[in-house]
Amino acid sequence: MKIKTILLLMICSLALVACNDQKEASEVIEIQELINFDEVQPDTLQQISDAKDIKIIEKTFKKAREFGEVDNEIAPQYKIKLNDDEYYLWIDNTITGTIANVNSRNMFYNILATDEFKEAINYQEQNK
């Protein structure tokens, strides 16, 4: 009887792990280039589904540090949909970037915009 119980628990555990892996594989992060806060750049929607890239982006956002509230009129380069939240992203050729939740766009958070992060979002430095 004990062997059957242990075997059943192992099978259930494996099934849960398999379901969890499928969930992660189907997760998508959407990134859209912006013209201004409310207007998207046409034909720039990216859907990032690579598990490694998703992990890099999520890790970068989780490590964001609150900068504070700023009255900002500078348009962000990107809008990123991560899980159920949307963020604005300001980024350039430096190692730092800034994010703000779309619902509270004046509260800024600094991120470490590593080369790995920039590759994950397919960032292209723009010459202006």
Contact (CB, 8 A) for 100 and 87:
yes
What is residue 102's DSSP assignment?
G
| pLDDT tens track for 35-74 | 999 899 999 999 999 999 999 999 999 999 999 888 888 9
| Residue 20 scores a pLDDT above 70 | no
| Structure confidence at residue 59 (pLDDT) | 96
91-105 average pLDDT score: 92
Structure tokens given for 14: 């494996």
Q: Where are the domains of the chain?
A: 28-120
The phi, psi pair for 22, rounded to 5°, reads -65, -40
| Structure confidence at residue 4 (pLDDT) | 55
